[in-house]
């Protein structure tokens, strides 16, 4: 064991005792997004580095310091995807999807960012992304938020709050940026080092600084809302009205900006108070300029991504005692002949009752050891097969979780009995 290798820091194994929570989250997400007509798209995990530079922006945290970038054997610079929107937009352009009718797409998979690992922040993490291409109105922005609100209900999540804001067009943002920088230069000495650096590179990101002193200085700063163009303003007002209609609660957070360059107009985040500092479980917005920026024809787009580790952590906090559903049947097989017959019997049960979970004891051993295995599996019943049962054409059904007596069942009545007992 001394030299046993460890996983890479910030890259987690998801063990069998956790995976049922993941599956619950993934199955629920899939059911909800498909109920809104979204279709799955799968992209490669590796893309050309240039794709992320062109879409996410050169002066973002991701591109500046978080990407896993390497030269492949041909000398091409490749990057493990840090997020899915860029690859999704690339795939849509490449396959002409953006020339067709509106696309409602979703994807899931691992993303990679070289961040400082901590609770809720990892170097390999999973996202589900949902993107719409070809629709520009606030109706689809509202639909995405209704979808997420429904998803939280279906997952049984509480204490999630929605923050929304509008970034306007990139021209409006450009005008605002100039004013913001002018103001922040007057208080330059009072900014923290991070904000001073961002003033040169990506000043809008200072707005979501976590530093209290910086936040206090921002109270006096020009407000993005005052610079937003009329059309974006109308878009935002309609979005808010649609959310009111749908009964989706939200707060307008004028300091909400997203880390990535490609956003325009609507931006939003769903935040929980259950996870401490890493409380954003879902974030997104509109990115009308991205497709054109990547060489496609101008196509409006909106989407979001949620972090599955954070969703799973919330589920585990709400339901700390949740356990996996266990097996229904455990076949205890005494002797060589029964071991052979038992494998065939298990297959017959699975064929007749596909929803029943059957574990066949493998590896032989005595009665006591096999029953121990049956107990550990959590199975509701043991089916015991030995020489005597083989001879009489029966099988012994022994309830494991109740005080009920075992009973001998004729082989040709077994499926019927199991159907009744397991209520399937
Ligand atoms: P943060 O402000 O937490 O760094 P972000 O703005 O970088 O988030 P996005 O790029 O918008 O996050 O990703 C969407 C979601 O993916 C986040 O809200 C979060 O739930 C999840 N996420 C992002 N980075 C990580 C990470 N390193 N580890 C785990 N989950 C992450
Ligand atoms: Mg981040």
What is the tens place of the pLDDT at every residue in 43-84?
999 999 999 999 998 878 899 899 999 999 999 999 999 999
Report whether residue 281 contacts ligand 1, using a CB cutoff of 6 Å.
yes
Give Cβ neighbours of residue 63 (< 8 Å, ≥ 6 apart).
Answer: 52, 53, 56, 57
- Kindly tell me if the per-residue pLDDT of 42 is higher than 90: yes
- Kindly tell me if the per-residue pLDDT of 7 is higher than 70: yes
Report whether residue 127 contacts ligand 1, using a CB cutoff of 6 Å.
yes
Q: How far apart are the C-alpha atoms of 129 and 40, rounded to whole Å?
A: 10
Q: Quick one: pLDDT band at residue 254, thresholds 50, 70, 90?
A: confident
Q: How far apart are the C-alpha atoms of 30 and 377, rounded to whole Å?
A: 29
For residue 321, how many other CB atoms are within 10 A of its CB? 4
In this prediction, residue 281 carries a pLDDT of 97
Report whether residue 256 contacts ligand 1, using a CB cutoff of 6 Å.
no
Terminal Cα-to-Cα distance of the chain (whole angstroms):
46
Beta strands 160-166; 251-252: pairing state: parallel
In this prediction, residue 318 carries a pLDDT of 94
- Mean pLDDT score across all residues of the chain: 94
Residue with CA at minimum distance from ligand 1 atom 22: 307
Report whether residue 272 contacts ligand 1, using a CB cutoff of 6 Å.
no
Q: Which ligand is nearest to the CA of 208?
A: 1
Pick the range with the lowest mean pLDDT from 114-118, 152-156, 198-202, 250-254. 198-202
Report whether residue 83 contacts ligand 1, using a CB cutoff of 6 Å.
yes
Report whether residue 104 contacts ligand 1, using a CB cutoff of 6 Å.
no
Could you read off the pLDDT of 211-225 as tens digits, one per residue? 899 999 999 999 988
Residue with CA at minimum distance from ligand 1 atom 28: 121
Query: Which atom of ligand 1 is nearest the CA belonging to 282?
Result: 18
In this prediction, residue 373 carries a pLDDT of 95
Angle at 76 between CA 71 and CA 81, to 5 degrees: 70
Q: How many angstroms does the Cα of residue 189 sit away from the middle of ligand 1?
A: 30
What percent of the chain stands above pLDDT 70? Answer: 99
Report whether residue 125 contacts ligand 1, using a CB cutoff of 6 Å.
yes
Q: Quick one: pLDDT band at residue 325, thresholds 50, 70, 90?
A: confident
Provide the b/e sequence for 341-352 (b: ≥16 CB within 10 Å): bbeebbeebeee
Beta strands 77-80; 68-71: pairing state: antiparallel
Q: Quick one: pLDDT band at residue 243, thresholds 50, 70, 90?
A: very high
Does 1 or 149 have the greater pLDDT score? 149
Query: Which atom of ligand 1 is nearest the CA belonging to 259?
Result: 6
In this prediction, residue 368 carries a pLDDT of 96
The conformation of residue 64, written as its DSSP 8-state character, comes to I
Task: Give me the count of residues in the chain.
Answer: 424
- Kindly tell me if the per-residue pLDDT of 138 is higher than 70: yes
Q: How far apart are the C-alpha atoms of 392 and 380, rounded to whole Å?
A: 24
Query: Which atom of ligand 1 is nearest the CA belonging to 127?
Result: 16
Pick the range with the lowest mean pLDDT from 27-36, 132-141, 203-212, 289-298. 203-212
- Kindly tell me if the per-residue pLDDT of 396 is higher than 80: yes
Report whether residue 283 contacts ligand 1, using a CB cutoff of 6 Å.
yes
Average pLDDT of the residues in 294-302? 96
Q: Quick one: pLDDT band at residue 381, thresholds 50, 70, 90?
A: very high
In this prediction, residue 424 carries a pLDDT of 65
Query: Which atom of ligand 1 is nearest the CA belonging to 83?
Result: 10
Report whether residue 314 contacts ligand 1, using a CB cutoff of 6 Å.
no
Provide the b/e sequence for 246-271 (b: ≥16 CB within 10 Å): eebebeebebbbbbbbbbbbbbbbbb
- Kindly tell me if the per-residue pLDDT of 1 is higher than 70: no
């Amino acid at each position: 064991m001394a030299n046993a290798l460890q996983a890479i820091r910030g890259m987690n194994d998801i063990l069998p005792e956790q995976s049922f929570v993941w599956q619950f989250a993934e199955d629920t997400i899939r059911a909800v997004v498909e109920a809104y007509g979204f279709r799955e798209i799968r992209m490669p995990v590796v893309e050309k580095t240039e794709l992320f530079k062109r879409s996410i922006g050169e002066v973002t945290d991701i591109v500046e310091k978080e990407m896993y970038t390497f030269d492949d054997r041909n000398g091409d610079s490749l990057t493990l995807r840090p997020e899915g929107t860029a690859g999704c937009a690339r795939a849509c352009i490449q396959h002409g999807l953006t020339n067709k009718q509106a696309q409602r797409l979703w994807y899931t998979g691992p993303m990679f960012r070289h961040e400082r690992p901590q609770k809720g922040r990892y170097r390999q993490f999973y996202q589900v992304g949902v993107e719409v291409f070809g629709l520009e109105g606030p109706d689809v922005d509202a639909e995405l938020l209704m979808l997420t609100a429904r998803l939280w209900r279906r997952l049984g999540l509480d204490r999630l709050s929605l923050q929304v804001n509008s970034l306007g067009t990139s021209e409006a943002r450009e005008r605002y940026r100039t004013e913001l920088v002018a103001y922040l230069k007057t208080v330059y000495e009072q900014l923290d080092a991070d904000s001073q650096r961002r003033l040169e590179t990506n000043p809008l990101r200072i707005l979501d600084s976590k530093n209290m002193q910086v936040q206090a200085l921002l109270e006096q700063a020009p407000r993005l809302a005052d610079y937003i163009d009329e059309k974006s303003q109308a878009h935002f007002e309609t979005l808010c009205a649609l959310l009111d209609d749908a009964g989706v609660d939200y707060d307008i957070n004028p300091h909400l900006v997203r880390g990535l360059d490609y956003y325009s107009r609507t931006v939003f985040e769903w935040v929980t108070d259950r996870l401490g500092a890493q409380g954003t479980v879902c974030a997104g917005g509109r990115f009308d300029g991205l497709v054109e920026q990547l060489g496609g024809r101008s196509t409006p787009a909106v989407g979001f991504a949620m972090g599955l580790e954070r969703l799973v952590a919330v589920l585990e906090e709400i339901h700390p005692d949740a356990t996996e559903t266990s097996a229904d049947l455990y076949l205890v097989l005494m002797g060589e002949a029964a071991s052979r017959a038992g494998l065939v019997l298990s297959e017959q049960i699975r064929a007749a009752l596909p929803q029943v979970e059957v574990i066949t004891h493998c590896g032989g051993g005595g009665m006591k050891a096999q029953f121990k295995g049956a107990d550990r599996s959590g199975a509701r019943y043991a089916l015991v097969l030995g020489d005597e049962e083989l001879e009489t054409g029966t099988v012994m059904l022994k309830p494991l979780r109740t005080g009920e007596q075992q009973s001998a069942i004729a082989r040709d009545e077994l499926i019927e009995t199991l159907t009744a007992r397991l209520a399937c």
